[in-house]
Amino acid sequence: MTRRRLLVVAGAAVGVATLAVALRPILRHVDWFRVRRVEVVGAVYLDPNEIARAMQLKSRASIFDDLTPARDRVLAMPGVRNVTVDWRLPGALVVEVTEFEPVALTQAQGRLALVDRRGRVLPFDPTRSATDLPVATGDPAVTALLDRIRDVDSDLFGQVVSATRERGTVVVETATERILFRPGADAKDLNALRVVRSEVRRRGMAVAELDARFEKRIVVRGRRS
């Protein structure tokens, strides 16, 4: 298809969409545009069927109805961070959901639960989707640091087994080492730690603990043979 034809097709599509919006008060009463399908995109932990039910669409709902109330009902669901609702001719609604991202597992009311970067317990079933997350206390200082580690050093995040806070120190443990952080450790600190861990591995050093609480230096403590 030539560039000119592509532009013509794109222009025609925009024109149809614009016309449809302009004629919405009329079209919403046409049976051809009744909602026959709801497509949920982006849901990882929430059940798409529950999301569709939360919209509370009437039996003769049209894709040209005001979708704001339906969107707001989905947005009010625990665990939903953002949602958009759009229509697709002739009778489909596309619901795109952004969930709050779990960063760790924690003990809550005698069971394991998922928490986000702010330490809030999320209403997600940990068994619904395969989760390979560390176990952590619900302390916001701990969960925020874990989220930062995931952004800056995904390799380290994938090795973290647990994370806790002991007084003024966040203690992160992998299968082979303990790493000590100050709660406000930033990307610069994490990048420096990544360099040190890489050098430690290169040298084949047996390390028990890395202390990253100090500005511009990381203390490496080895294992005794």
Return the pLDDT at 40. Answer: 97
Say yes or no: 80 and 110 in one domain. Answer: no
C-alpha–C-alpha distance, residues 76 and 39, integer Å: 19
Return the pLDDT at 223. Answer: 67
122-168 tens-digit pLDDT: 999 887 765 689 999 989 999 999 999 999 999 999 999 999 999 88
Say yes or no: 18 and 119 in one domain. Answer: no
Indicate the residue type of 65: D
C-alpha–C-alpha distance, residues 104 and 163, integer Å: 9
**Angle at the Cα of 146 from the Cα atoms of 154 and 109, rounded to 5 degrees:** 130
Say yes or no: 95 and 39 in one domain. Answer: yes
C-alpha–C-alpha distance, residues 93 and 85, integer Å: 7
In this predicted structure, the answer to whether residue 9 has a pLDDT above a threshold of 50 is no
Q: Which of 69, 99, 129 is the last residue of a domain?
A: 99
Q: Which of 77, 99, 121 is the last residue of a domain?
A: 99
Cα–chain-centroid distance for residue 129? 13
How many domains does the chain divide into? 2
In this predicted structure, the answer to whether residue 80 has a pLDDT above a threshold of 80 is yes
CATH number of the CATH domain containing 166: 3.40.50
Beta bridge partner(s), residue 169: 166
Return the pLDDT at 3. Answer: 53
Say yes or no: 111 and 95 in one domain. Answer: no
* Higher per-residue confidence, 96 vs 64: 96
Say yes or no: 85 and 166 in one domain. Answer: no
Say yes or no: 144 and 108 in one domain. Answer: yes
CATH number of the CATH domain containing 19: 3.10.20.310
Say yes or no: 62 and 121 in one domain. Answer: no
18-65 tens-digit pLDDT: 555 555 556 666 677 899 999 999 999 899 999 999 999 998 899 889
Q: Which of 60, 82, 99 is the last residue of a domain?
A: 99
Which helix (H) or strand (E) segment is 181 a member of? strand 178-181
Cα–chain-centroid distance for residue 171? 24
Domain that holds residue 43: 3-99
3-state SS assignment for residue 160: coil
Say yes or no: 88 and 127 in one domain. Answer: no
Say yes or no: 28 and 108 in one domain. Answer: no
Say yes or no: 169 and 112 in one domain. Answer: yes
- Would you say 134 and 140 are in contact if contact means Cβ atoms under 8 Å apart? no
Say yes or no: 213 and 112 in one domain. Answer: yes
192-217 tens-digit pLDDT: 999 999 998 888 888 899 999 988 78
Say yes or no: 173 and 95 in one domain. Answer: no
Q: Average pLDDT of 9-26? A: 51
